[in-house]
Homo-oligomer: A and B are copies of this chain.
Amino acid sequence: MSGGSREAGRSVTSKVLAILGAFDAAHPQLTLTEVARRSGLPLSTAHRLVGELEAWQALGRGPDGRLRVGPRLWELGQLAPNRLQEVAHPWLQELFASTGENVHLAVRDGLEVLYVDKVYGRRAVPIVSRIGARLPMHPTGVGKALLAYEPDWFVKSYLARKLERPTAHTVTEPGRLARELAAVRVQGHALTYEEMTLGSCSAAAPVLVDGRAVAALGIVLSSRRARELPRLVEPLRGAAAGIARAMA
């Protein structure tokens, strides 16, 4: 840019976006120095740009003075149209009403599940997912439900990587996982037991439109109540089917 940019060809816009990109679910608040480090910008450059973003409320500061995403970006984000969420939300609500359990909706994004919506009540025990958060596919119910309906080549390349292992219950052996996915395809739903978080288990069903899983609907409960899961599968599948019908 104008002036002595060390790394030529980097636009101001890309720097601004790099700063925004420094924030993610694992790093929702950062010091200026951390922003500079994570975005790969010189500290003084980060300082100036962050100042402008802050003035516009794109970024804000927490009580401790650390930087966080600001209200203006939240508001802007709400403008992003999301047909899936709009169509599906009433079903999540209904499923929650009839079961009283945490329910959530996720889509695949890259090699992860992205949580798109969630309905929970007061006694919601385990905070497993957050709207907008990402988790790996293989240890989550919704992830398995989605993965099971991906084409072979995709599943193969997913399993070929070294898979994370958040708990001792996580299944990471490619063979066993592939067999589980086959079972999901046959049964039409996935179950997990403490594979992502100790203390919680889940059931999930794919939202199938033209044979492709465009999303997955999941229900999570405390693993103490794991034996109640089978009872929840039917309503879960019903809601997933309802969403699928409304999406088509």
Contacts and interface: CB of A to CB of B under 8 A. Distances in A.
Interface of A: 1-2, 11-14, 16-17, 20-21, 23-25, 28-29, 49, 52-53, 56, 58, 60, 62, 68-71, 73-82, 89-91, 93-94, 96-97, 114, 119-122, 124, 130-133
Contact of A120 (B58, B93, B124): B93
User: Which 6 A-B pairs have CB atoms at the shortest separation, nearest pair first?
Assistant: A77-B77, A78-B132, A2-B2, A74-B80, A12-B12, A90-B122
Interface residues of A: mostly helix, strand, loop or mixed?
mixed
A82 B131 CA distance: 13
Given A17-B58, A75-B77, A78-B132, 20 more contacts: A1-B2, A11-B52, A12-B12, A14-B56, A21-B56, A24-B79, A25-B79, A28-B79, A29-B81, A68-B81, A70-B80, A73-B76, A74-B80, A74-B82, A76-B77, A78-B131, A79-B132, A90-B120, A97-B97, A97-B121
A70 B77 CA distance: 8
Given A94-B122, A121-B90, A68 B79 contact: yes
